[in-house]
Chains A and B, each alone.
Chain A
Amino acid sequence: MHGAHSTLEIFVDTTVYRPDQPDAGTSPAVRARALTKLYGRGEGTVRALDGVDVDFAAGRFTAIMGPSGSGKSTLMHLLAGLDTASSGQAFIGDTDVTQLNDNELTGLRRDRVGFVFQSFNLLPMFTAEQNITLPVTLAGAKVDAATKEWLGTLVETLGLSERLAHRPSELSGGQQQRVAIARALIARPEVVFADEPTGNLDSRSGAEVLSFLRRSVRELGRTIIMVTHDPAAAAYADRVVLIADGRIAGDIADPTPESVLAGLDALRTFESTAQGTQSQVAGR
């Protein structure tokens, strides 16, 4: 295992600092420290996440990539406080989410984290506008002037102005996902987690959604962490973190579809070479 790890050392910790975004990268928005998640007990224990250390810079669009079962979704769940870690720490800003109880986590998700889901997950009985402002409503706050202005900015950026009074069933998939993005951004969260945001979309809508995500980072200064298995989608990000077998397996700065594919290829090689060791682990 150690040997396999060391062959990929070159990829690790190559965070790119961008001169054109002065505030970027000064302090990481999200951090994981020795983050571990075990499923099951005894013989059947599965290490979904195995001591992951990773930083995600603020004001960046980071993609987490990896084959299915690699632990990329688990990593996101733990970082976002959706699931509890077996050991290790996950920070959003300076808050260790692994130390929060359910109510504190709920508050954290409501005020400091945004989510974009693969299946959009809009509430069918509410209009697009009601869906977008839901996190504000949940906090028990009135939609004030500042929020309204921000809503206007989001709606304009996402091209939803004509669609605010429609219910989700009257919107296309791409429009629904844009509503979901607006919902994720409305509370100005410190970080937005997007889980396969293009998984249910055709390629054109997918491209549209991805460029919106990128624009919201570049123009609106948001921080986005996106889980995906699509190299083309990952190429929209500023950085790609590769994950395999519950460990960080690589890091690509300024990815292009080609460099991501190359990274994935390397990962596959890694996987095939690691297979022997994996069976050893299971046998232990």
Chain B
Amino acid sequence: MIRITLAQMRRSVGRLTAAGIAIVIGTAFVAATLLAGDVLKRASYDSVAAAYADATLAVVVTDPYSAPESLTAEEVDALGDVDGVQAVAGRQNAYLTLGSGTSQVFQPAIGVGPDPALQPLTVTEGRFPGSAVEVALPASTLELLNASVGGTVEQQVETFVPDPDDEDGGEWVSSTQDLTVTGVVDDPYGAFATQGGAAVLTDEALEETLEHNNDSEKIFSTVLVLAEPGADVAQVRAAVEAEVADGYEVLTKDEAAASAISSLTSGANVLTSVILGFAAISLLVAALVISNTFQVLVAQRTRVLALLRCVGATKAQLRASVALEALILGIVSSVAGFVLGAGLVQVALVVVGRMDVGIPVPGTIAVTVASLLWPVLIGTAVTVVASLVPARAATRVAPLAALRPADAPALTGRAGKLRGAASLLLVVGGTVALVGALLLSRRGGGNVEIALVIGIAGGAVSFVGILLGAVFWLPGVVSRIGAVLARSGVSARLAAANTGRNPRRTAATSTALLIGVTLVAMMSVGAATARTSLTGTLDDTYPVDVSIGSQTWDETEERNAALPAATLAEVDELDGVAHVTRLESTDADLVVGESETTATVRGVSAADAADAVRASELFSELDDDTILLPWNVGYGEITDGATVTVTGPDGERELTVREVDVPGYAALVTPATLAALDTSTVVDHAWVRLVDLDATTDTVTDIRGVFSDTAVEISGAAVERATMQEIIDTFLAVIVGLLAIAVIIALIGVANTLALSVIERRRESATLRAIGLSRRQLRATLAVEGMLIAGVGALLGVLLGLVYGWLGSVIALGTFADVTLTVPWRDLTLVLVVALAAGLAASVLPARTAARTSPVEALAVE
């Protein structure tokens, strides 16, 4: 039987290859995810472990809350006297502010340490520092400071000088100290990669720096212990353990690194799981493609199978034969998929390794048993499971079929009642859950998370139901749309008729595409809805599109420096900027009865302010005798209608309070009122209204560019919106990218189905050619067929995605934003166009095969 199976596989090698590609891609996805996850873990492990240098043991805080106090210098020294310990090094990180000329670098620094084995950094040029006025620096820092070995850099030192007369008890004084650069240090394993490398000082200089920066007692969070050569590690460990306080733990270097990293990588693990979820979707789609292929293979082999039954093969043998075929295909494809995935990750490593990303990346992937076995097992299992239904179909072939005339096997494939019932049950159940989740989220409160979980479950269940039932309704949709198309010409008419011939296969092929497209559409609808809904909420929070505040302190005037008039004029000129309102300000005391507060008071005319905001009625009440107070200035104590005494540097006014939602933490008065409070104000703030809030990103970038040389704070709805848009867009791009793999597999399925149809309809194609169908018409028929199958899958996917995306948005966002259901027309159209183009592309090869069919074959009798 095995020989027969293999012989049959040889005959169908082309079909099997096409189906195998689906599994190859799916498995490669899984393998690449697992391997990349491993690489991430290893890179962070290497980096963490590198900080421990060649230490034998590390004393670390395991419970920062119960550790009574940190290890002191004496306690650290005491550890050095433990038997078998060669050296100990308390790990302290200091931060240096280094300068040279105009450049300044903020640099972590560590001590040389008592033993080279406990030093994670190496010297590549020169030597480690030997005195308190020497330093060794990473090459990148030297470059930034434009310094070299033998030269000097300036260290800025802040010293607290006690002064009993000062109300703060003293004063911080800045001074500088010259340090001679003695060497260039390298961080071969990236112990400090995330901090931009580390400088090395002598231990004394490091302590001094720490004392300067921090007047509290010197503490050590980690102590590295180097055992004497040949000492028994377990004994040394026990001895050190006896010495340290509670809350500390003595770990070997590996244990310490592993424990430090477990917290770091839990995030990476979550990421890996999420990506594996997408890989699962790809594999599900691949399973549909495989199942389809095997169904056709069985149909094509009806005569052979019947012949085998005639000569005595049992049903079980036939089933086993198909399953064996799937097993072989699964193993071969999965292994190929693993190799492909591993290759991709390896290529990525090489590319990343060439680019300087700052973090040392392993040069090669490490294939573990798990990262090899899982993808291969999963890929094989998916293939075998997908072949079970076709395998059962193989057993249904009657021995008599061998004797019937060799007409194309009619696969009417009546869908079972069980399937229909299950589908209906799932759809109804899922919909009920979705509606329930919707109601729950409407009630708000802490129910949102529960509602989300129920909603996701309901969505998933109903979607599975829809997919299960696809065979009942999808062919109908295809034939309706096909009927419309059929009027356009004979090719379309043939194509439409052809898609209706095997409803089950058409349904399965379309469904494979529908899955990916639904998810893509859902994500893009969700993203668009989130975007508009959240920006609606933002508009309410920030009435001003962009708010620019001066951040430069004018020492002499003791106020924020003015925003340069020329720069503001430049903003005025920008495309996309509708209006710039300039505001002057002063600090004033606000007194109402007993309550007193200090606030920034800004001057703006009602008309000018109204031009700056979208809700212009906000400022209608502003006149020379009023002060507009945002709630957060008055803190509810200064209420609407109260009379407040406002005292500025140069004057005092009695003003009536109007509480409004004005932007920023500042009160507003008219310019005349402001002048009465302070005679020397400058323009230190500006409000900018943009022409189009939907095209904010570019304008915000432009404004940032104008102020690149001036210290300002740029905020506001447009800025928030731009930032949020970026986050949503990135998120969407990543998800769509991951789902694209499922879509690609589905398109392979479309090509595969078309190719199989071409083979099945070989004689029909020849007949059509014989009675006058041109090659071009035949190719067009296949093209229309491909586009019809892909287009319907995509169209239905888009519709389903719309529904799910909207429902999801309402459930997820309903409590904190007014959800405005948004249709991302551009994205959805793009999805449809891509699907149609891909359907067309998928038809190219099969159509060429079909067009090569000689009309003579119509006359051939099998």
Interface residues of A (CB under 8 A from B): 73, 77, 80, 82-83, 102-103, 106-107, 109-111, 114-115, 117-119, 121, 123-126, 134-135, 137-140, 169, 183-184, 187, 195, 199-200
Contacts and interface: CB of A to CB of B under 8 A. Distances in A.
A254 B856 CA distance: 30
Scoring B490, B501, B855, B856 by chain A CB atoms within 10 A of each residue's CB, the highest score goes to B855
Contact of B763 (A77, A80, A121, A184): A121
B234 interface: no
A183 B771 CA distance: 9
A23 B777 CA distance: 37
Nearest to A199: B861
B304 interface: no
Interface string B466-509: 00000000000000000000000110011001101100000000
A58 to B, nearest CB: 21
A83 to B, nearest CB: 5
B854 interface: yes
Given A77-B859, A82-B856, A140-B490, A121 B774 contact: no
B143 to A, nearest CB: 69
B501 A107 contact: no
Contacts of B501: 124-125
Nearest to A76: B859
A189 to B, nearest CB: 10
B859 A195 contact: yes
A68 to B, nearest CB: 12
Nearest to B776: A103
Please tell me the size bucket of the interface on B. Answer: 20 to 34
Contact of A138 (B777, B854, B856): B777
B849 to A, nearest CB: 16
A117 B772 contact: no
Nearest to A138: B772
A137 B856 contact: no
Contact of B490 (A114, A138, A200): A138
Scoring B497, B764, B770 by chain A CB atoms within 10 A of each residue's CB, the highest score goes to B770
Contacts of A123: 494, 497, 764, 767-768
Contacts of A80: 770
B229 interface: no
Contacts of A126: 497
A109 B410 contact: no
A248 B426 CA distance: 71
Given A121-B764, A121-B767, A126-B497, A106 B775 contact: yes
Nearest to A125: B497
Given A82-B855, A140-B489, A115 B777 contact: no
B771 A134 contact: yes
B859 A73 contact: yes
Nearest to A83: B856
Nearest to A105: B855
Q: Is the interface of A mostly helix, strand, loop or mixed?
A: mixed
Interface of B: 405, 407-408, 410, 489-490, 493-494, 497-498, 500-501, 763-764, 767-775, 777, 854-856, 858-859, 861
Contacts of B854: 82-83
A211 to B, nearest CB: 23
A75 to B, nearest CB: 12
Scoring B490, B767, B773 by chain A CB atoms within 10 A of each residue's CB, the highest score goes to B767
B490 A137 contact: yes
A75 B408 CA distance: 28
21 contacts: A80-B770, A82-B854, A82-B856, A83-B856, A102-B774, A103-B775, A107-B772, A109-B769, A109-B855, A115-B771, A115-B858, A121-B858, A123-B764, A125-B500, A134-B771, A137-B490, A138-B772, A140-B489, A140-B490, A183-B771, A184-B771
A96 to B, nearest CB: 18
Scoring A110, A111, A125, A140 by chain B CB atoms within 10 A of each residue's CB, the highest score goes to A125
B767 A124 contact: no
Contacts of B775: 102-103, 106
B485 to A, nearest CB: 15
Given A73-B859, A82-B856, A109 B771 contact: yes
A130 to B, nearest CB: 8
A169 B407 CA distance: 11
A102 B858 CA distance: 16
Nearest to A137: B490
A121 B775 CA distance: 18
B772 A200 contact: no
Scoring A82, A83, A110, A169 by chain B CB atoms within 10 A of each residue's CB, the highest score goes to A82
A125 B494 CA distance: 9
For the complex of A and B, the 10 pairs showing the least CB-CB separation, nearest first, are A110-B772, A125-B497, A121-B767, A106-B774, A82-B855, A138-B772, A109-B772, A82-B856, A195-B859, A137-B490
Given A135-B772, A137-B493, A117 B858 contact: yes
A82 B853 CA distance: 11
B771 A135 contact: yes
Given A77-B856, A106-B775, A137-B490, A82 B767 contact: no
A82 B775 CA distance: 13
Scoring B763, B771, B777 by chain A CB atoms within 10 A of each residue's CB, the highest score goes to B771
A117 B766 CA distance: 11
A109 B777 contact: no
A110 B771 contact: yes
Nearest to B773: A138
Contacts of B490: 137-138, 140
A187 B771 CA distance: 10
A83 B766 CA distance: 12
A135 B494 CA distance: 13
A94 B490 CA distance: 29
Given A125-B501, A138-B777, A199-B861, A111 B772 contact: yes
Given A117-B859, A121-B770, A184-B771, 15 more contacts: A73-B859, A82-B856, A82-B859, A106-B775, A110-B771, A114-B771, A115-B770, A115-B858, A118-B861, A121-B763, A123-B768, A124-B410, A137-B493, A139-B772, A199-B861
Contacts of B494: 123
A90 B410 CA distance: 39
A137 B856 CA distance: 22
Nearest to B859: A195
Nearest to A184: B771
B401 to A, nearest CB: 16
A104 B454 CA distance: 65
Contacts of B498: 125
A185 B828 CA distance: 49
Nearest to B767: A121
A187 B763 CA distance: 22
Contacts of A187: 772
B772 A106 contact: yes
A116 B183 CA distance: 94
Contacts of B772: 106-107, 109-111, 135, 138-139, 187
A128 B773 CA distance: 18
Contacts of B767: 117, 121, 123
Given A123-B497, A125-B501, A169 B771 contact: no
A82 B771 contact: no
Contacts of B763: 119, 121
Nearest to B766: A121
A183 B386 CA distance: 42
Contacts of B408: 124
Contacts of A106: 769, 772-775
Contacts of B493: 137
A119 B771 contact: no
A195 B498 CA distance: 26
A196 to B, nearest CB: 8
A125 B479 CA distance: 12
A115 B773 CA distance: 13
A134 B767 CA distance: 11
A124 B412 CA distance: 12
B855 to A, nearest CB: 5
A162 B332 CA distance: 55
A80 B855 CA distance: 10
